[in-house]
């Protein structure tokens, strides 16, 4: 097991989203490090990608959970995404579906859906520990 505590972010490759997500996860969950799994349009890849795309993300999440002990997984969607140029409402729906895909892996983790707005601030879309998510 690695030294320190870890969370996991399934994020877009867009560099503008990395720091806000890492800062938010460290502040919200009290973790020392954030393992970042990046894909262009990660929400699209998980919600409607190929089996190979989804399996690739899953393999990387498993490394974070099994070897780093991550107990939280964030799935990130964001404003102005080149990898998923869909309207924001569609990206929000994709994020919720992506959360369900990760939830179907039955990992012992808390899963949160995050939206990075046009000010590069983090907003919570969904949280598996919220009463509304049961």
Instruction: Give the whole-angstrom CA distance, residue 58 versus residue 65.
Output: 10
Q: What is the pLDDT of residue 3?
A: 85
Q: Is the pTM of this model over 0.85?
A: yes
Sorting pLDDT into bands at 50, 70 and 90, what band is 131? low
Q: What is the pLDDT of residue 134?
A: 44
**Mind listing the pLDDT tens digit for each residue in 82-118?**
999 999 999 999 999 999 999 999 999 999 999 999 9
Instruction: Give the whole-angstrom CA distance, residue 133 versus residue 2.
Output: 30
Q: How many CB atoms lie within 10 A of CB 3?
A: 8
Instruction: Give me the residue spans of the domains in the chain.
Output: 6-129
**Mind listing the pLDDT tens digit for each residue in 23-50?**
999 999 999 999 999 999 999 999 999 9
DSSP for residue 100? H
Q: Which CATH superfamily hosts domain 6-129?
A: Carbonic anhydrase (3.40.1050.10)
DSSP code string of 52-89: HHHHHHHHHHHHHHHHH---EEEEEEETT-SSS-S-HH
């Amino acid at each position: 097991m690695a030294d320190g505590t870890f969370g996991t972010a399934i994020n877009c490759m867009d560099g503008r989203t990395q720091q806000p997500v890492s800062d938010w996860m460290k502040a919200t969950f009290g973790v020392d490090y954030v393992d970042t799994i990046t894909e262009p349009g990660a929400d699209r890849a998980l919600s409607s990608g190929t089996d190979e795309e989804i399996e690739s993300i899953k393999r990387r999440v498993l490394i974070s959970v099994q070897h780093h002990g991550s107990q939280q997984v964030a799935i990130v969607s964001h404003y102005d995404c080149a990898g998923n140029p869909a309207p924001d409402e569609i990206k929000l729906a994709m994020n919720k579906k992506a959360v369900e895909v990760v939830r179907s892996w039955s990992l012992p983790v808390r899963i949160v859906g995050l939206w990075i707005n046009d000010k590069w601030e983090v907003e919570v879309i969904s949280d598996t520990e919220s009463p509304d998510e049961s």
